[in-house]
Structure 1
Amino acid sequence: MNADVVLAGVAAGAAPIELEDVPELMSRVDSKYLVTASVMARLAAELGDRFAVLRIGRRRQFRYTSTYFDTPDLLTFRHHRQDRRRRFKLRTRTYLDGGGRWLELKLKGARGSTDKHRIPYDDAPAHALTAEALDFVSDTLVRELHLTMPGPLGPVLSTDYKRVTLVDRAGKARLTCDTGLICHGGSRTVPARPGLVLLESKSADGNAMVDRALRGMGVRPVTVSKYCLAVAALRDCPANRWRPVLRRYLEPGLRRR
């Protein structure tokens, strides 16, 4: 089954919800799952009309591109690989089908929750950090994680993908469904396998209806990060903890752009 076709059908069949009606979840517990298109279809049937689909204008599926920043020795990648209790990721995210560009700082704290902080970035290039951006990163790291900002930070790689967002109509939870991932770094490109969907369940406690439904179907969470997978694939960096997902999710071999 084609994952994009399945998700297009899921999005078309769900009741729409407008962006302004989607509850904020800047602090949440994230659980990620890698599923086939057929499992995605089963999950959608299980969820029924409990979930609405995000709609902006006439669109229900959106293209994203993200540029990730790190130090020359890949400090943030290494901290994720080592599963440091306090760590962060920094990226610009551009919503290609509307929504502009944001600079996003994702923090992982000692409690295991994910906190996202962001500022508008429409007037700055996606691959550069302005003085205002560096001040924002520095202040947030000190305030939230008691960390000093490492440096210098520069662009490392970018990812492109398509997303459908499902929103729980009964509570503060949502499910993002990503397909068509392509990782770019220098002259190299690595695509994801076309029949897979990367799901991310976002909720206050990590036990949303989606998580329970997937457990009932025998699907377990995976440890995965688009950025870390891309670094491992594009730069041949050690990634033992992500190796099973890397082999399953991304196409083998590197392609020149």
Structure 2
Amino acid sequence: MRTRAAVTGVLAEMQPISLAEVLAEAALQVRVDRKYLVPIGVFVELVSRLRDRFAVLEIDGQRSFQYESVYFDTPSLGLYRQHLQRRRYRYKVRTRTYLDSGECSFEVKLKGNRSETIKSRLPYAAADRGRLTEPARDFLAEQLRTAYGVGPVDGLRPALVTTYRRSTLTDPTAHERLTCDIDLRFADATSALDVLPDAVLVESKTSGRTGAADAVLRDLRVRPIQVSKYCVAAALLNPTLRSNPWHRTVHHFSGGRLLRS
């Protein structure tokens, strides 16, 4: 609750921007993502330095919103293992629901040839968010065939759920966006875990080179980390899984000390 109060307080001092303005500014569906674990005190300083050029998304007076993502994988977690092995052609499959509005989409996230993230969306019924419909399967097959020349793996089913609160900051002139996530919870069919009680998961989204927020974070001695909510959640909820590429990140999420190098 202390983290939520601090985030609410510092974002209240920013200028608002509407959803229509954010969507008109740039879709950023092909982008470079850089992720950071930011202790709450450092996050407050980050926002204070960006306040003059960034605005915060506001909808109906709210500046943070509840998200739920349902990730799909095979019973043996084949998609997780693609990422573990750093396969060139790897992808994630999920539904994302904006719990405040009830809006939902089916999403396929691919890795491009230059390590950029390519995300494709299909409008989805919120009531179906825990299963793959036939239109979703067809959409997935089309995306994989177009991008990689392969078909989807067999046996995809719900693997785990992540929930969190997100605020979005945007610089309309530089086509730069920050998402700021708190109150993270990971859950599967048998267990749930609350993570990062004293930190914000910040993701910088740019069209290529580093942006203003990346420069400020570097000045604050916060470095990018390798993190995928899905992969970290899978590793935490299944402790016997190998998680070598994200070992330090998994340690931070499991309650280890946040490192500022």
2:250 equivalent in structure 1: 246
CA RMSD of aligned residues (A): 1.4
1:64-103 maps to which residues of 2 (within 5 A)? 64-98=67-101, 100-103=103-106
Specify the code of the residue in structure 1 equivalent to 2:117: T
For residues 88-128 of structure 1, what are the alpha-carbon distances to aligned partners after superposition, in whole Å with 9 as ceiling and x for unaligned? Answer: 10100010112600001111122100011001102651110
Which residues of structure 1 form unaligned runs of 5+? 253-257
Matches within 5 A, 1:17-166: 17-22=17-22, 23-98=26-101, 100-122=103-125, 124-166=127-169
Amino acid at match of 1:203: T
1:171 alignment partner in structure 2: 174
Matched position secondary structure for 1:50: coil
8 Å CA contact 1:159, 1:183 repeated in 2: yes
* Cα contact 1:71–1:151 (8 A) shared by 2: yes
- State how 1:167-206 maps to structure 2 within 5 Å: 167-206=170-209
Aligned to 2:15: 15
SS of structure 1 residue aligned to 2:203? strand
| AA partner of residue 187 (structure 1) | T
In structure 2, how many angstroms separate the alpha carbons of the residues matched to 1:113 and 1:39? 27
Report the secondary structure of 1:49's partner residue.
coil
CA pair 24-121 structure 1, distance change in 2 beyond 3 A: same
Contact 1:2–1:37 under 8 Å retained in 2: no
Asked if 1 retains the 8 angstrom alpha-carbon contact of 2:103 and 2:126, the reply is no
Contact 1:196 1:249 in 2 (8 A): no
Number of aligned residues? 252
Alpha-carbon distance in structure 1 between the residues aligned to 2:66 and 2:17: 18
Q: State the identity %.
A: 42
Find the counterpart in structure 1 of residue 259 from structure 2.
none
Quick one: distance in 2 between partners of 1:80 and 1:155?
17
Secondary structure of 1:164's match? strand
CA distance in 2, matches of 1:42, 1:249: 22
> AA paired with 2:193?
V
Q: Report the alpha carbon displacement of residue 206 of structure 1 after superposing the two structures with TM.
A: 3.8
1:16·1:54 contact (CA, 8 Å) conserved in 2? yes
* 1:213 alignment counterpart: 216
d(CA) in 1 for partners of 2:149, 2:206: 25
Q: Is the 8 A contact 1:11 1:61 kept in 2?
A: no
Structure 1 CA distance for aligned equivalents of residues 62 and 125 of structure 2 = 21
Indicate how the Cα distance of structure 1 residues 150 and 197 shifts in structure 2: closer, same or farther if over 3 A, else same. same
Structure 1 residues 13-41: Cα deviation after superposition (integer angstroms, max 9, x where no partner): 11111111112110000000001000101
